[in-house]
A and B are shown apart, each in its own frame.
Chain A
Amino acid sequence: MTAVIPYGIGTALAALMFVLLRKDRKSVVDMSVHIALAIVAAIFIGFLTVQAIANPGGFLEILIGGLLAGVLYSLVALGFVLIFKASGVFNYAQGAMVLVAGLALVRCLDFMVASGLPFALALVIALAFAVAVMALTATVIEKHVLRPLLNQDGLTLFMSTIGATFVLEGLAQMVFGSDVYPLRLFPTDAWFLMENLFQGGILVNKLDVWGGLIAGILVVSLAAFFQYTKTGRALRAVADDHAAAQSVGIPISWIWFVVWLVAGIVALVAATVWGTKLGIQFSITFLALKALPVLIIGGFTSVPGAIVGGLIVGAGEKLAERYLGEMIGGGIEYWFAYVLALAVLLVRPQGIFGEKIIERI
């Protein structure tokens, strides 16, 4: 334990320097919050370092497991970021959309398989069906929720998505049923890596690796789409200013449809991975709550932020559970992310990658 002290002090000093050197520091109160957080973070990091040196194999296993689990959070967070970037709406219904997409997929798949189709063909049909359902959802939301609220405040639109959540959850369960439906699209067994280096090797879940791969591909293609295409540019334009976008002839209805469709497809992808992990069931909508700290940490407006935020939350909560949990009775995993998000809000309200919004007055 004595080894904690030098690490802790070293990191705390570095953090303190960082705080003191910030040009925009405001008051002693502000600073003291920064310093307190820096010290807490330094102690945590110092403590982890000691643990990592004591048992590198175990530490690596938890870290890798945590990072990969974090990518799965990112998958859900991505849907939020997309809609927020493109329409300035915080879409509370994203969790419900994961449920809708998952239910549509799994019910159609089960039906096709039961009627004797080979699995691959059934899967293609089920995926197409789920995309169609998400397109229908996007159309209905655009037409009946967003269009009447054109040029309204962001908060108004946010409230309307809360309403949409209840409708989507209710309808999806009425149409597709409300049991737990198992979905097996990806392998769920595990690999053991570096067995000659560490005793027992490092256990890595194959499903998590698949999730990571898929999230990576999604992020790269989405970022390119946003940055380099006409439609991507129009999406960003609509997010910034409805009236100005209309004045240059950007068809807002079409743009909103595209955004919600893309968010629906991201929800579908999240549903395939999470459904394999948990089965498609109502509680999957609570993923939306887990995505919230991810978004706060990474920044609401950044696609890479969603990924980095997910990694931090995933790794942070697993490491905290393993190394701090036993000291205060366990169960940290469930709230650690929210505390982390709170700390980020105190220091950097816009998140790590978020745009700092400066209002001219």
Chain B
Amino acid sequence: MNLHVEAPNVEATKPAAIGERQIGGVMLAVDSVSLAFGGVKAITDVSFDIRKGEVRAIIGPNGAGKTSMLNVINGFYHPQQGTITFKGEKRSEMRPYVAASQGISRTFQNVALFKGMTTLDNIMAGRTLKMRKGLFWQMLRYGPAVREEVEHREAVEKIIDFLEIQHIRKTPVGKLPYGLQKRVELGRALAMEPELLLLDEPMAGMNLEEKEDMSRFILTVNDQLGTTIALIEHDMGVVMDLSDRVVVLEYGRKIADGTPDVVKSDQKVIDAYLGVSH
């Protein structure tokens, strides 16, 4: 995989280019998944799939179960019913370590970075699974472990260049403004060289300019690296522009699934968002 990406031309990466991208078969499928915490039903019998190479949006009003769905996919939550099929392997539950090592990486709704560490160290932490040299060599800080460290540092520098965060390389991330923290978090997820990238509200709390930057990064990652992306987002403009297909949840149930245009004109979706008069 080539992480070195030219500064992307915004025009070229607009949805007009989508037709040229390769969208393949089903990469991940959740099948009749139900998740409850005690008596609270977070997800009820939801099924959908994510195809290789696409941008898949999960939308819905607050409390619809969107984040719970991501947590099921990457193994933080274990559903009581249903199955998760990733790259042809069917499981009743994921485990975070398995998900990460199989190529699923994610960002969090409320930015979960390692606050005391620098931007560089945060993104390097994303390379953990790629680094194979044992504790013994690391302790000696000699030979293979040093070569490995240098190699991965190069990959990380490419990500830093791509996300345009060179100037905060050595800043502890706790001190960064929110928009940049979100960007570092994306960097850490990219450092894992994921096949499936889960983004939980990547643009929450951002201003217009920051949103445009973030959209550009997401499209470029999808377009140039072929990474499959599933994102949760509240900004409908962004969702409609970025995504190939949208799944809509409400009160833990799926109420619609399809292309942005289809979903946009679905009566159930309109009711869910605008309320319905009884």
Given A246-B97, A247-B100, A251-B97, A240–B128 Cβ distance below 8 Å?
no
**Which residues 97-156 of B sit at the A interface, judged by CB distance below 8 A?**
97, 100-101, 105-106, 108, 112-117, 121-122, 124-129, 131, 133, 135, 138-139, 141, 145, 149
Q: Which chain B residues lie closer than 8 Å to A250 at the CB level? A: 125, 128
Assess whether A147 is interfacial by the CB under 8 Å rule. no
CA–CA, A248 to B141, complex, Å?
23
Min C-beta distance of A249 to chain B, whole Å: 3
Contact A236 B101 (CB under 8 A): no
- 22 sampled A-B residue pairs with Cβ under 8 A: A221-B139, A224-B141, A229-B138, A230-B131, A230-B133, A230-B138, A230-B145, A233-B121, A233-B128, A237-B122, A237-B128, A243-B108, A243-B112, A244-B114, A245-B114, A245-B125, A246-B96, A248-B126, A249-B97, A249-B101, A249-B192, A301-B116
Check if A247 sits within 8 Å of B141, measured CB to CB. no
Q: Which residues of B contact A239 (CB under 8 A)?
A: 116
Question: Per a CB cutoff under 8 Å, which of B116, B128, B138 touches A355?
Answer: B116
Q: Across the interface, which residues of A come within 8 angstroms of B138, CB to CB?
A: 225, 229-232
Q: A299–B37 Cα gap in the complex (Å)? A: 39
B117 adjacent to A244 (CB under 8 Å)? no
Which chain A positions have C-beta within 8 A of B251?
none
Top 4 A-B residue pairs of the complex, sorted by shortest distance between their CB atoms: A249-B100, A244-B112, A240-B114, A229-B138
Contact among B106, B117, B131 with A247 in the assembled complex (CB-CB below 8 Å): B106
- The verdict on A237 contacting B97 (CB below 8 Å), with A225-B139, A246-B76 known, is no
- Per the bound structure, the CA–CA distance linking A236 and B125 in Å amounts to 10
Interface string of B176-196 (1 = CB under 8 A from A): 000000000000110110000
* Residue in B105, B115, B133, B149 whose beta carbon sits within 8 Å of that of A248 in the complex: B105
Query: In the complex, what distance in Å separates the CA atom of A139 from the CA atom of B32?
Result: 38
Q: Which residue of B114, B139, B149, B191 is within 8 Å of A241 (Cβ)?
A: B114
A228-B141, A231-B138, A233-B121 known; A249 vs B129 contact (CB < 8 Å): yes
The 8 A CB mask of B70-106 against A (1 = contact, 0 = none) is 0000101000000000000000000011001100011
In whole angstroms, what is the CA distance A232 to B116 when docked? 13
Binary interface encoding of chain A residues 40-82 relative to chain B, with 1 for a CB under 8 A from any of its CBs, else 0: 0000000000000000000000000000000000000000000
**Which of A234, A241, A249, A355 has the most B CB atoms < 10 Å from its CB?**
A249
Instruction: Write the chain A residue with the least CB distance to B133.
Output: A230
B174 CB-CB contact with A under 8 Å: yes
Which residues from chain B contact A224 at a C-beta distance below 8 Å? Answer: 141
**Extra A-B contacts (12), CB below 8 Å, given A232-B138, A249-B192:** A228-B141, A229-B141, A230-B133, A237-B114, A241-B113, A248-B128, A248-B129, A248-B191, A248-B192, A249-B97, A249-B100, A251-B97
* Cβ A244 vs Cβ B113 within 8 A: yes
State whether B112 touches A249 (Cβ < 8 A): no
Task: Let me know if B149 and A358 touch, CB within 8 A.
Answer: no
Contact B108 A248 (CB under 8 A): no
A258 CB–B CB distance under 8 Å: yes
A-B contacts, CB under 8 A, total: 92
Interface contact B114-A229, CB-CB below 8 Å: no
Q: Is the CB of B192 within 8 A of A240?
A: no
Q: What are the residues of chain A within 8 A of B76 when measuring CB–CB?
A: 243, 246
* Interface residues on chain B, number (Cβ under 8 Å): 36
Distance in angstroms between the alpha carbons of A341 and B74 in the assembled complex = 45
Establish whether residues A237 and B96, one from each chain, have CB atoms under 8 Å apart when the complex forms: no
CA distance A158 to B165 in the complex (A): 38
The answer to whether B149 and A230 touch across the interface, beta carbons within 8 angstroms, is yes
B74 touches A237 (CB 8 A): no
Contact B135 A244 (CB under 8 A): no
CA distance A250 to B191 in the complex (A): 13
> Which of the listed residues A228, A234, A243, A244 has the most CB atoms from chain B within 10 Å of its own CB?
A244
In the complex, what residues of A have CB within 8 A of residue B127's CB?
Answer: 230
> For the complex, what is the distance from the CA of A244 to the CA of B188, rounded to whole Å?
10
A273-306, CB < 8 A from B: 301
> What is the chain B residue whose CB lies nearest that of A227?
B121
Residues of chain A contacted by B189 (CB below 8 angstroms): 247-248
Chain A, Cβ-Cβ closest to B198: A247
Partner of B112, one of A228, A241, A251: A241
Contact A248 B101 (CB under 8 A): no
Q: How far is the CA of A232 from the CA of B131 in the complex (A)?
A: 13
Residue contact B125 to A248, C-beta cutoff 8 Å? yes
* Contact residue among A234, A240, A248 (Cβ-Cβ distance under 8 Å from B100): A248
Q: Which residues of B contact A244 (CB under 8 A)?
A: 108, 112-114
**Using Cβ atoms and an 8 Å threshold, which residues of chain A touch B125?**
233-234, 237, 245, 248, 250
Give the distance to chain A from B193, nearest Cβ to Cβ, in Å: 11
